[in-house]
Structure 1
Amino acid sequence: MRPNKRDELVRKALEVFYRDGFHATGMDKLVVETGVSKTSMYKHFRTKEELILAALRLRDENFRNWFLRRIEELSNTPAGQLIAGFDALGEWFREDKFRGCMFIKAGAEYQDKDHPIHVQAAEHKRLLLEHFTRLARAAGARDPERLGCQILLLKEGAIVTAVLLNSCEPAQDAKAAAQVLLDAALAG
């Protein structure tokens, strides 16, 4: 099925926001980058923030679909999937267009916890935490909520490190730390 104009606009805007940031990207720049007129853009979105929210929803859907499918491909056990997530991250980090996490960026650019963009970014992280906690519970962790939080923390730290440092192997280092945490959570 051919994407409609609105979907195409959101997809193109997502690429621009991911590459250049939210505040640095004005509507004039989006008009040039997307090839959509200002009139048409405002026909679909009353404000830039509405367009950002639509782009974040698309990114959430795309990323979580890819990430969850990829960890299931890498391992068929809940414990293995908790660890395989770091292999999937390593694949993402090696992509030419990798620029970090769009949701970390959104949370940093829109820091008011009640702002809809901040709320959307936090929801993405909450859904990932929920998934990690579910996997930890299915793996038999003594405290699945804590292990889920620890895995999410390692994932987020690996992403930031991958963006900022060239001297580390963040996905593999986080994977090794996650294995220690998982082993401790399953012991006894």
Structure 2
Amino acid sequence: MNQRIGYARVSTDDQHLDLQRDALQQAGCGVIYEEAASGKNVARLELEHCRKALRSGDTLVVWRLDRLGRSLPDLVQIVADLERSGISFESLTEKIETNSAAGKLVFHVFAALAEFERSLIRERTYAGLAAARARGRSGGRKPKLGDKQLREIKALLHDPDIQVSDVARRYGVSRTTLYKHVGVIKPKKKQPY
């Protein structure tokens, strides 16, 4: 027997699930999974329990699209996973249901928009990096040690009486940073007098 299973979520503990619960019950959901969790959280335990309970032919029902996905791409991914498992999806507020051709069309338009948004973000990022490189800037942090400091460090490390840890402390870096920039420097042997 195919079930209609509801999922309701509020972002914080001081919000109430009553509105969503009532709407899901009116929509014929016999079982409703509820949780108070920010949409930004990747781990939403009740959603995972809900997804495990769904079987082929069932329908996952939510009050509104933003109750299910953290973002449009996340929502598209969840619905695509459901569809691959033979599970329908329905959003009451937006009147989207994927068990009809029209509902699938609307949802695929959403998916196309999500992909378009990702492409725009990627293009803007690459354009910004290219513009920065054209102005002579490169990405990443500025080096901790300048050329003059590296020359001083190399000279200090040639002295057998100076420890690497003392030089690192003096320049405010770790020993690893020193080795990364100057390599291993063998101290010069003392000249007998």
Same fold (TM over 0.5): no
User: Which of the two has higher C-alpha Rg?
Assistant: 2
Normalized against structure 2, the TM-score is what?
A: 0.25
| Structure with the higher strand share, 1 or 2 | 2
Q: Which has the higher helix share?
A: 1
Which structure has more relative contact order (CA 8 Å, sep 6+)? It is 1
